[in-house]
Amino acid sequence: MKKFLILDCYVDEPTCLGVPPFVSPYPRYIYGALISAGLSNENIVYNTIDHLRMNNYHFTEGYDHVFIIGGAAVPGKYLGSRIGTLSEINKILERNSKTKMSIGGSISPLIKSASSNISTIQYDIDKFAFTLTQGNPVDERRTIEECALWSIRGAEIVKHHPWYPNIICEIESGRGCPRQVHCSFCLEGLDREIEFRKPKDIINEIDALISHGVFRFRIGKQADIIQYGTLLNKYNKGFPQPNIHAVKELFDELKKHKESGKIEVLNVDNANPGTIVNWPDESSIILESIADAVTPGDTLPFGIESFDESVVQQNNLKVMPDDALFAIRLVNEIGGKREDGIPKLLPGINLIHGLKGETTDTFKINHKYLERISHEGLLLKRINIRKLQPYPGTPIFNEKHKIGNVITKRFEYYRDRIRDEIDNSMLKKIYPPGTILKNVCVLDLRNEYSIGKQIASYSITVKVPTVFPKMDFIDTIVMAHRERSILALPVPFSINSVSQKNFEIIPGISKAKAAELILKRPFHTIDSFTDELTNVHGELVKVIREKSLV
């Protein structure tokens, strides 16, 4: 019996996340392609890089072919998980050199191996897998029809994911960048063929995943969700007219799934502020529809990249600074209303260092605009600041653009200021003390703290001074804010058994007062405890009272 391995080394690409708890479409589509090629599920094994790490990067059995997926165009830090790196993938190739392997995902062009056993796949590895098992392997794009079928047939693979059922599935809605001009650094811009999946195909895939126990989804694998289904027949400054009908058809159905309880978490990813600025009327209707469908606390990330006009021009970025502000305002206006105490949908911002035209002033300008956004009372759910790692094939890579040390030092100075000044004040406004954050999944334990996140897009890190088993889900009450994280109390709050640290994180309670509270235990009533909280804000005391247990 032939045996195939799908090895998921996880991906973090500009338009696709597949680091746990996220599961990218790559392994799902490959599995669906293999099943469609006539293989049975006994022929296919799904493993992840975590499994290979435990086996010193050796396969534990023989395979006819191994399909490796990897992509860390911009390696990041992940709570509770670790993406497979290029050096790890190279180790796998070396230590299993007798096995035939193919590599897909954005790591593929970085693999330099002369072995005839190794194929680097430029197009779709699922299509390669399908044609390989038919005896005629080709490296080409899958069709929309193949995608529709393979995505459904591949859904059952999620049951073999090490984090199942604590996962969120990244759902593809289309590929290629619908903009006529492309940014100097972007991989997506290299994909000249723009295509969108049909709403019914996306919903059918989601239904298949639901039938296999998935209830969290992010419509995330696309360049710009506002442009979903654009007809590409009318442009304003290089941005096509959005297709209201297509977006509404998709999100109305997703909303119905959410309301019927089939979907518990619904998120989106990636929107282009240039679309919003150039098509404000269409964009407003679309944003209303998306904000209505998603679950509270969602983020709409904008690739602003820089607020420096010269950098915007030299890198063909999407928007000038004032246009960026317009898009940020509009999303705040439409998505900023609170549901369950949390803003429904807020913009996020991506900034990049390493673009053409940067000077020592660039980062001061970025800081100034972010300060302006904050002073206007606008909210940003997330400010992502990263150093560019030019990717092969992109214009900026081909030009071998160099960055001076002085500029990098300036970048680091302003990055830290943004973290201290802007990020922190945004966090306080988005999650004021007393906000309830439900279903936080414990992913790590450090110094008597449980550290976790909600299984959702760009969820905030929550630190709770009580130890819970890893992968437990807890409800929490926000107390204080740290750099890009929140300190919170567990719900229920057991006042007679929690550690002193729990009392110390309540705003208004000093270390000495926390020690005094410990000595005064046991409290026989909740009121006798809350009567002690004289320096704590009344509204916060109310929430603590509601969630306390004697």
Q: Which residues of this chain interact with ligand SF4, rule CB under 6 A?
A: 177, 179, 182-183, 186, 188-189, 223, 272, 303, 318
Between 222 and 243, CB nearer to ligand SF4: 222
Between 215 and 239, CB nearer to ligand SF4: 239
Question: Least distance (Å) from ligand SF4 to the CB of residue 280?
Answer: 18
Between 191 and 253, CB nearer to ligand SF4: 191
Question: Least distance (Å) from ligand SF4 to the CB of residue 272?
Answer: 5
- Are β-strands 265-268 and 342-343 bridged in parallel, bridged antiparallel, or unpaired? unpaired
Question: Least distance (Å) from ligand SF4 to the CB of residue 303?
Answer: 5
Question: Least distance (Å) from ligand SF4 to the CB of residue 274?
Answer: 7
**CA–CA gap between residue 224 and residue 521 (Å, rounded):** 55
Question: Least distance (Å) from ligand SF4 to the CB of residue 357?
Answer: 16
**CA–CA gap between residue 454 and residue 436 (Å, rounded):** 12
Question: Least distance (Å) from ligand SF4 to the CB of residue 302?
Answer: 10
**CA–CA gap between residue 92 and residue 115 (Å, rounded):** 13
3-state secondary structure 229-283: CCCCCCEECCEECCCHHHHHHHHHHHHHHHHCCCCCEEEECCECHHHHHHCHHHH
What's the DSSP call for residue 391?
P
Question: Least distance (Å) from ligand SF4 to the CB of residue 106?
Answer: 13
Between 108 and 227, CB nearer to ligand SF4: 227
E strand or H helix at 210: helix 199-211
**CA–CA gap between residue 548 and residue 529 (Å, rounded):** 9
Between 354 and 490, CB nearer to ligand SF4: 354
Between 174 and 335, CB nearer to ligand SF4: 174
Of residues 4, 9, 110, the one with CA closest to residue 57? 9
Number of helical H runs and strand E runs in the chain: 19, 26
**CA–CA gap between residue 317 and residue 8 (Å, rounded):** 32
Of residues 502, 497, 494, the one with CA closest to residue 464? 502
Between 395 and 434, CB nearer to ligand SF4: 395
Of residues 256, 378, 252, 275, the one with CA closest to residue 325? 378
Between 303 and 465, CB nearer to ligand SF4: 303
Torsion of CA 136, 137, 139, 142, to 10 degrees: 80
Question: Least distance (Å) from ligand SF4 to the CB of residue 224?
Answer: 7
Question: Least distance (Å) from ligand SF4 to the CB of residue 187?
Answer: 7
Between 186 and 495, CB nearer to ligand SF4: 186
CA angle, corner 145, sides to 167 and 152, nearest 5? 30
Tokens 């969700």 correspond to 225
Q: Reply yes or no: is the peptide bond before residue 21 cis, omega within 30 of 0.
A: yes
Q: Are 179 and 192 in contact (CB under 8 A)?
A: no
Between 179 and 381, CB nearer to ligand SF4: 179
Question: Least distance (Å) from ligand SF4 to the CB of residue 391?
Answer: 11
Torsion of CA 308, 312, 317, 322, to 10 degrees: 60
